[in-house]
Structure 1
Amino acid sequence: MKALTSLATLLLLSLPVGGAGADIQIASEVESIQPGVPFTVALHIVPDKNYHTYWKYPGIVGLPTSIKWRLPEGFKAGEISWPAPEIVDMAGHPAHGFRRELLLLVNITPPEQIPASTVTISGELAWMACYKECHPGFATRSIILPVNSAPEPRYHRKWAAPIKKERDALPRKSTLWEVSVESDPDETPVVIRVRPAAGASNNPGQVYFFSEDGQITSEPAQKARRQADGSYLITGTRSEFSPQGRTTLPGTLVASGSWAADKPLAAFRVEPPYPEK
């Protein structure tokens, strides 16, 4: 990603030898798979103490966790489902990532016929974990799963529950807040209006817009101001590496409290269009 090359390249050139800052393994929601039935695997990320890893768009510094799958013939892997990130710090530079242990979920669809009795799900992982210094990590990970023709899936006793918990917490679209872009495409600053609707919280706390495709950089810091009508006006700086000509602004809105008045809702996804010229 071009948006990451400037500062990330400098960090890579001065990285210490040894240690990856995090460990990543592949976990499966099911103990065995069924022909033609999609199932979920997860990249289980455990950072070392004080370390963080990075979101799909890390911002001014960092590299996102990625995997190049090696799957049996006929198997197809979907994209990573990304949890809501948080602001992390690398050498005084704010970025987008995770300080916690997490599961990055990926749906895999097997073919209708599987001749083997077991299959190997494998992939080449790459990540970066940072604290006072950064460690790039590279590893090949695999799991072997039996094939069965049972009418119901057999869920993994260890991993099914945490994978479900992570899935349930994924940010989704919401009607509680109306989001619009009040600046023109390719211009800076980028101005976002977040207006409460029925059921919205009166005080969601501190709010932040995480740009999913790198249109808004993580540095300088965004400014979010509450307006007299209860809406938020969020102003961010367009990245010098921002993709050009986009008609929408995809991202995740995160609050320190809850966006909802009657239930927890820390994050939701949006993709408001730019104003038509």
Structure 2
Amino acid sequence: MPISKMSSNKGHGTREKGRGSLVQLLLAIFAGLVLQQNAHALEPNSPLQIALVSEVKAVQPGKAFYAGLHLKHKEGYHTYWKFPGIVGVPISLDWSLPDGWKAGGLEWPEPEQVHMFQIRAQGYHGDLVIPVRITPPADLKPGTKVTLAGKAAWMCCGRDCNPDFADLTLELPVTETAELDAKWEPAFVKAREAAPQALDEKAWAITATRKDKNLVTLHVTAKSDAAKQQLASVKEVLFFTDDGYIHVDKDQILRRDGDGKLSLELTVSEYYDGKSPPAQLLGLLQTPQGWGKGFTSKTVIIKAPIE
């Protein structure tokens, strides 16, 4: 018997293509029809405040550091994770860096379940930083300054939807040694701690079975005593799809299958554009009860072979 149904009332740049993209386009057009005349995101009364920020106050030649996007959502509004679902547009950042500088990808913190009107999606509320690892060239000259620039794009939704973009800049001095910024360092630490983590294969086994063309079941088995104890405390879980194979706006049925075992029944998305079903179930698994000692995030990475 199921012990839980993860429904639409439960709240805690990749996109669908093909039919999924068509749905996103149609919903984006619909959202555009209900847009209100909100201020630009750089203005105080916008539903989203966004800025380019840095963990350091000064850059050291050749030493990597973290910069990134600071997002502050107005109450009741959200933006979208790297894979939103069947609605929404993911946050993106296109850098324009000086010669010799390198930027990694967005290091996404764990997402949340959000709602575009009544449709469940994958995104973010509240106040957060999305970090990016930046590597400056070794031949920078101390005493100079550097300007980092990037174009951010997003869709922020709540009572209305607000697709927008902004050209952002950040100026930093170059010094002999890097200096952390006391204002922003805690936000970057929090973001890194909230990044999804890998489960220890010695303590956990994650597999998946394909029941039919419409359903996949994710199986979580605790192998160590500590993992079994932790799993016994889990009362709710939520799966976030990484490639669109699982439908984001369908209920997820959680079952307890015996001592140290849980399963989660998931609905395959009719908008998945793969030529054939994937060999692995890719995504994240999140529980408010956490995954035990050593985990700073309540979200773990799932790469489960589908049998």
TM norm structure 1: 0.89
Structure 2 residue aligned with 1:232: 262
Q: 1:115 to 1:261 in 2, by over 3 A?
A: closer
Q: Give the direction of change, closer, same or farther, for the CA distance of 1:181–1:263 in structure 2 (3 Å limit).
A: closer
In the alignment, residue 215 of structure 1 is paired with which amino acid? Y
CA separation of 1:106 and 1:265: change in aligned 2, threshold 3 A: closer
Check 1:144–1:262 CA distance in 2 against 1; reply closer, same or farther (3 A cut).
closer
Deviations 1:165-200 (A, max 9, x none): 22122111012432112128x943222111123222
Mapped to 2, the partners of 1:191 and 1:210 lie a distance apart of: 14
Contact 2:74 2:126 in 1 (8 A): no
1:172 maps onto 2:204 in alignment: no
Aligned positions of 1:1-277 closer than 5 A = 1=15, 2=17, 3=20, 4-19=24-39, 20-114=46-140, 117-150=144-177, 153-175=178-200, 176-183=203-210, 187-198=213-224, 199-200=226-227, 201=230, 202-244=232-274, 245=276, 246-260=278-292, 266-275=298-307
Aligned to 2:8: none
1:134 deviation in Å? 1.0
8 Å contact kept, 1:219–1:237: no
Structure 1, residues 63-100: CA drift from partner, whole Å, max 9, x if none?
11111111111211111111111211221111111222
Comparing 26-35 and 230-239, the one that deviates more: 230-239
Residue 253 of structure 1 aligns with an amino acid whose one-letter code is L
CA distance in 2, matches of 1:71, 1:101: 26
- Give the unaligned 5+ runs of structure 2: 1-14, 40-45
Deviations 1:9-40 (A, max 9, x none): 43234422323520110110111112221110
Q: Find the aligned partners of 1:69 and 1:263 in 2 and give their Cα distance.
A: 32
Could you say which structure has the greater relative contact order, defined with CA pairs below 8 angstroms and 6 or more residues apart? 2
**Change in 2 beyond 3 A, CA 1:212/1:263:** closer
Gaps of 5+ in 1: none
For 2:183, the aligned partner's letter is: K
CA-based RMSD: 2.2
- 1:262 Cα offset (Å): 8.6
8 Å CA contact 1:34, 1:148 repeated in 2: yes
SS where residue 146 of structure 2 aligns? strand
Asked if the contact 2:141/2:174 (under 8 Å) is kept, the reply is no
Q: Which whole-Å CA distance do the structure 2 matches of 1:155 and 1:142 have between them?
A: 19
Query: Is the Cα–Cα contact under 8 Å of residues 223 and 260 in structure 2 kept in the other structure?
Result: no
Q: Does the 8 A contact of 1:53 with 1:130 survive in 2?
A: yes
State the AA in 2 paired with 1:50: G
Once residues 33 and 159 of structure 2 are traced to their aligned partners in structure 1, the CA distance between those partners, rounded to angstroms, is 15
TM, length-normalised to structure 2 = 0.81
* Cα offsets for 1:239-258 (capped at 9, x unmatched): 23324254322211101212
Secondary structure of 2:93's aligned partner: strand
> Would the alpha carbon gap of residues 75 and 264 (structure 1) be closer, same or farther in structure 2, given more than 3 Å must change?
closer
| Superposition deviation, residue 237 in structure 1 | 2.1
The offset of 1:273, in angstroms, is: 2.5
